[in-house]
Amino acid sequence: MSSVNKVMRILAFSAGLLMILALAQIVSAQETRGTIRGTVVDPNKASVPGAVVKIVDTARGTTTTLTTNDEGIYQANYMIPSTYQITVEASGFKRTLRENVQLQINQTLSIDFALEIGGNQETVTVTTESPALESSNASLGQTIDQRRISELPLVHGDPYTLIGLSSGVTYTGSTRLDRPFEPTHIVGFAVDGTRGNRSDLTIDGAPSTATANANEVIATYVPPTDIVQEFKVQTATFDAQFGNTEGGVTSISIKSGTNTLHGAAYYFAEPWKWAANDFFGNSRGQARPVTKSDRFGFSVNGPVYLPWLYNGKDKTFFLFGYEGIRDSRPRFDASSGSWVPTQAIANGDFSGLGVTIWDPLTRIAGTGTGTGGNGCATGAFCAQTSFTNAIIPTNRINPVARAVMTYFAKPKQSGLVGNIFDSTLSETTKPYDNWTFKIDQNITEKNHLFFRGSWYDRNSLYNRYTDSAYTGVNFIFASRQAVIDDVHTFNSTTFLNLRAGYNRFIREQDQQSDAHGIDLTTLGWTSNYNSLVPELIRRFPRFDFSGGPLGNGMSNEFRPVDTQSFAAILNKVWGNHSFKFGAELRTYIENDNFESNDQTGQFSFDNTYTRQASNSTAGEVSGLQGMAAFLLGLPTTQQIVRRADYSEYSKSYGIFVQDDWKVNTRLTLNLGLRYDVETPLQERQNKSVSGFDTAYVQPIQAAVRTRLTTNPVTGYDGTTIDPNSFNVTGGLLFAGKDGGSGLYKTPKNTWLPRFGAAYQLNEKTVIRGGFGLFAGFLGERRGDVIQPGYTQTTTLALTTLASGAPIPQSISNFPTAISVIEPVGNAKGKQTGIGTGISFFNQTPKVSKQFRYQIGVQRQLPWGFVAEAIYVGNYGYDIEISRNLNALPNRYLNADNARTTAMTSNNTVLTTGVANPFLGLPEVAGTSFANSTIARSQLLLPFPEFGAITGSNNDGKSWYHSGQFSLQKRFSQGYTFQASYTWSKWLQATEYLNAGDAQPTKMVSDQDSPHRFSASAMVELPFGKGKWLLSNANPVVDRIVNGWQFGGVYTFQVGFPVSFTTDLFYRGGQIKINSKDRTTGAWFNTSAFASAFDFASFLPTGVTPGTATAAQWNAAVTSATTAATPQNHLRTLPLRFTDVRRDNINNVDLSLIKDTRINERMKIQIRFEMINAFNEPYFPAPLVTPGSTTSVNGFNIPTFGTISASNQDNYARRAQFGIKFLF
């Protein structure tokens, strides 16, 4: 059979297998193994065809045998990262042997051979080290070797921390969420101008990501360091095989067993007494909190051996690993202000706390504060008496409040504010257990198979301050992974790789079991309440308090996310071309079942009914009046929610062809083309909005026009609004009702070309460059379904006292005083959401694109160093951005840069209530549109029957330019070193300064960091036998001084620009404060803006800030805030400035390791590590709301431009002590 026929049969077989698996919905693959290729030539540089090349994995004893083609080229694909020995034999030439060939993850290693004439009984041994230069491809990335992973200081042993060692990456996550089960932030890296959490992550080639937030992915599994062989961060790859990413790809390879049994067992502790205190904790004089973190585990790998039954040497290998973490942290600190009632408060006694509790039953309607009035402002309601000594009589305490009060935790310390906190007490220790099992099988020399299963479970018990159902929630992360992979070698030039993967990530949050199905009659309600809430979702009801009392709001859910994947790749070496033809499929599935406790009822309390006057919030102290309202059973709002669940999915298909063309011995071209299609998001039962019909005429339009005729309304320009020109249009479209099940149309033009070139200028210099197009997310990763109509809130309305003062129904009457409204789904059709804000999907989305390009030079330096300097650019276009279709047009906005009379007048015109033409229409019942008046501005909107209408378009763009520099040295001569520096500028046009703007504004990106430097090093101290010093020491001394190693990781990253999301009046002058003068109390120059800090001019004549009473001070701050707040203003001030930035990350982690040999195969390793060794705080972003304040002894202190937080954004210095046994 001809070779062409063989290839055709292989292609047909592959296509058939793909179709079967696609039908089975087992539906990418980013390769973690490497390729060894090269050219065999004779002394005259002529090709040697037919030479036999044997590649032996020295750790496993497996052999790959190939024959060079007519061009003298050989290529071995899908080789496990390992150490190899290569021999070449050809008739008339000496046998040539090359040892210690190191192949790294996803590396194409060029090993050429120049044969010498002679008999093959003679052997020529080549001792040259493996090439350090990348001469076979133009892709840019950083390989993290196994020793770095295993021995550098890593917080909680998380290997993904080392992603930051690569040039071109920027950390965008939270530095406080650094544990391996905090999946969003451990991979929160932006890559070369692509936003954080938009890169792909694979383990053994199978996807290991899930959706968290819209257009973001998280890591679903984190392998313990001891089972990781190595991983590679590819910040730019020009191989068309790689898809499902806007930016980089991180590929992790799990160890495979070898012919020798290896393993380790370890224990790490993080003693809290060795930790430093938080910056803000120190400033408050607060003791260090008691924390605990113990990490332990083991791994073992080797050949499968069953005595008398099976010896798997050279054939069958296994790996088994486990890691556990047991940790605890306090959930609250004294600065949070959260408190629980004392016994006196629980009994209604607020005496001695400096607060007045007014009796709401004595409220009267105000008739004016002037002559003839009753002392209460017209339109307000004022209580006439307060409770004596701030003590609520026992007979006034609501029975539900009395019952619920018994579930509160007892105070941990004296006083009120922060009394829930006790730094000497911590929560229950929480478990995390992580397991991995892997089998590698060499079925034959031409067929290799592996299977891996990995899983972890994390159960975090939060806020369990007392043994009760009021607080306490189980927060669960669980991961399940399986991957099976087969590589078949048909001949020396043809390889087929098939891979299938299953990845499930579960996020679950729920109250403790004693809150499940709770009998609400035990809390003082009637049995009718139980019948209104199905037992399956019934939980302890939700209570929210303002001002400090500990609430128990919980967004409970059970949300599993599945990724099913399959890939097939055919490799064919044809002359000096290495082709890859492949297809990959992924199915993304997400289910979400909501079990939030607001489904059992939600009750909110503040001082609305326990202050003296309804038109003044004065009198509240630390939420005490709100707590009094709770005891009286008078919530500000009370409601019950029926929540929708959903099951959504989408599919991603990709095909590609790649040609790595070795043009000659110096030049290699990487030519690729990929085609991707991602299907639209679907909800299995069509429980979702799809689009928005802008032309649809609402049936209520005629009634609204009639009302405008009967009750004319003056428009913005002073003329009467013409009823006949007043349009009430637009309506939501639903899946399966107004079209198919897909929530939008599928873009089908996603062609992604890739080109790379590597030119070896000389033995020590390679020039590399390339460009490529990468596609963003669609489908399930783009965002979740939208479900108006499927969730319904029922609110208990106010009642009225005999005096005419409104007061709510008592909490104990809920919900007997109402009829619970059930969700109607899509039954209202295009009338859904009238009177509210709505959202919908763009029906003709584009796939966002990132066009990446680069050119640079790589140079081998003396002493084993390799340096690289490269320019990297990235142009993003068709980026999806959010847009309010129902924004007030810009022509109605005032452009003044101060609260001028004109601005105030314009605002008055827009906000003044006018006769509401929607009044009385059943479609707006229960919304703010049911009131007798409506703001004039609402009638000026394009779709006046709706609030904000959130959609999206693809008008976004981004621009990224960078210079990237790296220097590294493999481990030799007792040390290894790696450093990278990135200078970059990142601009984007993805936000609107004003909702009515025609185009987004170009400005500095919120993830721009112009300078980032990272470095890692490990140095063996030169003492003991075989070292520089004390090489002749006796065994006792040698055991003491030998085996010491020092290591460290350093990261510096310039802070991101501060985002001024609130509109401000800019007065002029420099906003930036030089870093040496910058403090947490003054992060930027607030005098450049109008703010509440300008309150001094609003104090009464003769009063200074130092002499003002609290009332005078607070009144002045309020007036200053009003003057600083733009009203219906046309914004021109940028959202961000390049020189006003958050704090810099400046972190050093250090380790000291002592290895002590037990014998040739065993050793004990003692480790001491410090995370954030120099205790550098990383501060949160400053406050940018001009009216923000904090209360100090009754004085509202402005906080605009300050950093006011409970904690720094990183952890203070932590110490880790570890012991490890290796064999």
Cβ-contact 1044, 1023 below 8 angstroms:
yes
Secondary structure class of 1113 (helix, strand, coil): helix
Specify the residue for token string 């004296």.
414
Residue 68 CA, chain-centre distance (Å), reads 48
What is the C-alpha separation between 1023 and 1031, in angstroms, rounded? 7
Q: Residues 517, 523, 527, 529: what is their CA dihedral angle, to the nearest 10 degrees?
A: -70
Return the closest-CA partner of residue 100 out of 129, 142, 136, 122: 129
Cβ-contact 628, 610 below 8 angstroms:
yes
What is the C-alpha separation between 1150 and 311, in angstroms, rounded? 43
**Token pair in block for residue 815:** 């919900």
What is the C-alpha separation between 415 and 29, in angstroms, rounded? 59
Return the closest-CA partner of residue 603 out of 637, 630, 633: 637
What is 1034-1052 written as a DSSP string?
-HHHHHHHTTEEEEEEEEE
What is the C-alpha separation between 628 and 639, in angstroms, rounded? 20
What is the C-alpha separation between 612 and 1179, in angstroms, rounded? 40
Return the closest-CA partner of residue 434 out of 254, 227, 223: 223
Secondary structure class of 1053 (helix, strand, coil): strand
Secondary structure class of 1006 (helix, strand, coil): coil
User: For the chain, which domains are there?
Assistant: 31-126 (2.60.40.1120), 341-408+600-642+792-824 (no CATH)
- Based on its alpha-carbon atoms, the radius of gyration of the chain, rounded to whole angstroms, reads 34
Query: What is the model's pLDDT at position 1031?
Result: 87
Categorise residue 1175: left if φ over 0, alpha if ψ from -120 to 50, beta otherwise. Answer: left
Cβ-contact 1203, 1085 below 8 angstroms:
no
Return the closest-CA partner of residue 446 out of 81, 66, 74: 66
Cβ-contact 387, 252 below 8 angstroms:
no
For residue 286, count other CB atoms closer than 10 A to its CB.
18
What is the C-alpha separation between 659 and 751, in angstroms, rounded? 16
If you count them, how many residues does the chain have? 1223
Three-class DSSP labels, 746-809: CCCCEEEEEEEEEEEEECCEEEEEEEEEEECCCHHHHCCCCCECCEEEEECCEEECCCCCEEEC
Query: What is the model's pLDDT at position 415?
Result: 83
Cβ-contact 820, 640 below 8 angstroms:
yes
Query: What is the model's pLDDT at position 845?
Result: 96
Query: What is the model's pLDDT at position 597?
Result: 86
Cβ-contact 667, 761 below 8 angstroms:
no
What sections of 255-314 are H helices per DSSP? 279-283
Question: What is the phi/psi pair of residue 654, to 5°?
Answer: -145, 140
Cβ-contact 902, 1127 below 8 angstroms:
no
Helix (H) / strand (E) element for 902: namely: helix 901-911
Cβ-contact 208, 503 below 8 angstroms:
yes
**Token pair in block for residue 946:** 């709706």
Return the closest-CA partner of residue 756 out of 107, 135, 198: 135
Instruction: Give pTM, 2 decimals.
Output: 0.89
Query: What is the model's pLDDT at position 802?
Result: 61
Query: What is the model's pLDDT at position 20?
Result: 36
What is the C-alpha separation between 204 and 228, in angstroms, rounded? 10
Cβ-contact 623, 546 below 8 angstroms:
yes
What is 794-818 written as a DSSP string?
EEPPEEE-TTS-EEEPPGGGTTTTS
Specify the residue for token string 């910056």.
279
- Strand 200-203 and strand 249-254: the pairing is parallel
What is the C-alpha separation between 728 and 892, in angstroms, rounded? 20
What is 490-501 written as a DSSP string?
EETTEEEEEEEE
What is the C-alpha separation between 64 and 1128, in angstroms, rounded? 73
**Token pair in block for residue 750:** 């996603």
Cβ-contact 75, 35 below 8 angstroms:
yes
Question: What is the phi/psi pair of residue 151, to 5°?
Answer: -120, -10
What burial class does residue 994 get, using C-beta atoms within 10 Å of its C-beta: 0-12 exposed, 13-18 middle, 19+ buried?
A: middle
**Token pair in block for residue 823:** 């969700």
Distances, alpha carbon 1112 to alpha carbons 614, 1097, 1098, 1101, 1118, in Å: 20, 12, 9, 11, 10
Cβ-contact 853, 753 below 8 angstroms:
no
pLDDT tens per residue, range 641-652: 999 999 999 999
Fill in the DSSP letter of residue 553: -
Distances, alpha carbon 37 to alpha carbons 53, 402, 421, 761, in Å: 10, 78, 63, 20
Q: Which amino acid is at 183?
A: P
Secondary structure class of 283 (helix, strand, coil): helix
Query: What is the model's pLDDT at position 12?
Result: 39
Return the closest-CA partner of residue 607 out of 589, 591, 632, 625: 625
Return the closest-CA partner of residue 596 out of 530, 560, 641: 641
Cβ-contact 760, 663 below 8 angstroms:
no
Distances, alpha carbon 18 to alpha carbons 22, 567, 569, 582, 750, in Å: 6, 8, 11, 10, 21
What is the C-alpha separation between 1004 and 1137, in angstroms, rounded? 7
Which of the residues in the chain have pLDDT under 70? 1-30, 331-337, 422-427, 462-467, 797, 802-803
